[in-house]
Amino acid sequence: MFPSDIEFHVAPYISDFVKWITVAWEPFFTAFSNMVLGMLLQIEHILVAIPWWLWIIAVTVIAWRQTHEVVKTIMPGLLLFTVGIFGFWGIAMETLGIVIVSVIISLLLGIPLGIAMAVSDRCNTLVTPILDAMQTMPSFVYLIPALMLFGLGKVPGVVATVIYALPPVVRLTNLGIRQVSSSVQEAALAFGATSWQLMKEVRIPLAMPSILAGINQTTMMALAMVVIASMIGAGGLGEVVLICTNRIDVGGGFEAGWAIVVLAIVIDRLTQGLVRRWDTPGV
């Protein structure tokens, strides 16, 4: 047995710290909360304002342009249709809104961070373990402090989702930039590229397929997390799942679960199509 007399706990300190920061930084977190909420409501407003049939047409058209295959074109629209049939259209849009806001924030933070990690080895060694922690730390551990800081509702849901969904885009941006062929980079330098030009003209464009794969992964993770975030009142499809689970309503749970899967499939296909369109020929 590990000797109990050298046991030491950081738990009280962390609890105290979170309590302190909740009080002392209250204005900051409230302002941040309001900003995110405003953004969220605006996007939700737009999503709901678009009529359901226009959504289905748009998804079908995009799918056709990306695949030019009959089955792959019809499927996404048809799947979306079932979401409406089950009566989840409005709730699904709510979920989509949180996913979109979370992904936007993740990309705004993640892509620059990935670039910084590609440029600086020190930054890379510093940030990598943090990303590992973000991916492996059970989400409930940070759901509670997020709740304390941002109050009940959608905003802590967004924060928790960003924490969970951020790592893939950071990692794949970093990896993509680091993997750009050194002979191409050398040629660019030989013709007098500055390090900024090298990044803008060579490294980022050639890393684009990898960065887009990261965006796709981040989006999928965000969708997965939004469901869990419903436990702290983020609403959306996850809430329906939660309620059905509590009532042991197996059929209702299946319907809501189905709607989540549909969203995932549709978003995945659309963003993967983006990756393929950007894919550099011959690389």
Partner 1 sequence: MGMQDFNLLEVERLWKVYHKTEKALDLSDPVAIEKAEAAGAVIAVRDVSFKVKRGEVFVIMGLSGSGKSTLIRCLTRLIEPSTGVIRVKGKEVTSMDAEELTAFRRGEAAMVFQHYGLLPHRNVLENVAFGLKLRGLARELRESRAQEALRQVGLAGWEKKYPHQLSGGMQQRVGIARALVQDTDLLLMDEPFSGLDPLIRREMQDELIKLQKEWQKTIIFVTHDLGEALRLGDRMAVMGAGVFVQVGRPQEIVMNPADEYVQRFVQDEQRIAQLLDKGRVSRVRSIEAHASARAGR
Residues that bind partner 1 (CB under 8 A): 183-184, 186-194, 197, 201-202, 205-206, 208, 280-283
Minimum distance between the CB of residue 103 and partner 1, rounded to whole angstroms? 25
- Terminal alpha carbon distance of the chain: 56
> For partner 1, which is the closer residue by CB, 12 or 282?
282
Q: How far apart are CA 281 and CA 283, in angstroms?
A: 6
Minimum distance between the CB of residue 202 and partner 1, rounded to whole angstroms? 7
Q: How far apart are CA 165 and CA 171, in angstroms?
A: 11
Radius of gyration for the alpha carbons in the chain, expressed in angstroms and rounded: 22
122 CA to centre of own chain: 26
> For partner 1, which is the closer residue by CB, 189 or 270?
189
> For partner 1, which is the closer residue by CB, 134 or 184?
184
Q: How far apart are CA 159 and CA 147, in angstroms?
A: 10
> What one-letter code names the amino acid at 166?
L
> For partner 1, which is the closer residue by CB, 108 or 283?
283
- Closest by CA to 204, choosing from 81, 116, 82, 85, is 116
Please, what is the angle between helix 154-178 and helix 26-49, to 10°? 80
Minimum distance between the CB of residue 168 and partner 1, rounded to whole angstroms? 23
Minimum distance between the CB of residue 196 and partner 1, rounded to whole angstroms? 11
> For partner 1, which is the closer residue by CB, 246 or 280?
280
Minimum distance between the CB of residue 281 and partner 1, rounded to whole angstroms? 5
